[in-house]
Amino acid sequence: MIGGNIRAITIINRNRMIKYLADQVIAMLALIILSPILLVVAGLIYYKMGRPVVFTQPRPGKNERIFKFYKFRTMTDARDTKGNLLPDEVRLTPFGQFLRKTSLDELPQLWNVLKGDMSFVGPRPLMVSYLNRYTPEQARRHEVKPGITGLAQIKGRNSISWEEKFQYDVWYVDNWSLWFDLKILLMTVLKVLRQDGINQEGYATSEEFMGQLREN
């Protein structure tokens, strides 16, 4: 029994190393191959919305370590008379909406993958402010690196509830395999082509996760 457990752990560790190396190699190649697209998109964002071209924000990664998350900008900085930012659905531009529908806004995250902050597949990195709102079970989504895509994304993306997303995230943590990652990547391509689940009805993406705060 002990020998079997050691062998299983060894296989898992080997596969995680394969995943890490594959992430690094593919991210580097993708950045090189897609550099013309990155430059064109960056130029168009600068022309249509000005600076900054890339949206950055702190996000929690594996073991809740905070890293700088990159994404192409899709919204303006429009504010009301009191200086408060307008709702996301108002600030989202037509070009920004196109970037989200085609997932081109996610391309800068290739740099996150190359840096080792993220993987191609894993639970999506969410707001730092959400950390104290998770249940202990939901917080297990941080046991692995966050991903550009994940199980929750192919199961509904922003069209499903937060509770469903976190159930899928934790299920992924417990059932991860290289073949499962490959399946998720292939399903993601289909989702992008079909433009499924881009936003929750009435929101630019989805409503804010309140979690435990709802009970306070």
- Give per-residue pLDDT as tens, 103-162: 999 999 999 999 999 999 999 999 999 999 999 999 999 999 999 999 999 998 777 889
Residue 214 to residue 133: CA distance in whole angstroms? 9
pLDDT at position 159: 79
pLDDT at position 185: 95
pLDDT at position 215: 44
What does each C-alpha distance from 96 to 59, 88, 106, 180 come to in angstroms? 21, 11, 12, 31
Sorted by where each begins, the domain ranges of the chain are 2-202
Residue 20 to residue 210: CA distance in whole angstroms? 33
- Model confidence at 196, in pLDDT bands (50, 70, 90)? low
- Model confidence at 90, in pLDDT bands (50, 70, 90)? confident
Residue 121 to residue 177: CA distance in whole angstroms? 11
pLDDT at position 173: 96
**Cβ density class 141-150: b for 16+ within 10 Å, e for less:** bbbbbbbbbb
Strands 66-72 and 54-60: antiparallel
Classify the C-alpha dihedral 58-207-203-150 as positive or negative: positive
Residues in the chain: 216
Please check the confidence at residue 214 and state whether its pLDDT lies above 50. Answer: no
- Model confidence at 200, in pLDDT bands (50, 70, 90)? low
Please check the confidence at residue 168 and state whether its pLDDT lies above 60. Answer: yes
| Beta strands, E only, 47-203 | 54-60, 66-72, 119-121, 147-149
pLDDT at position 213: 53
**How large is the C-alpha radius of gyration of the chain?**
18
Q: What percent of the chain has pLDDT over 90?
A: 65
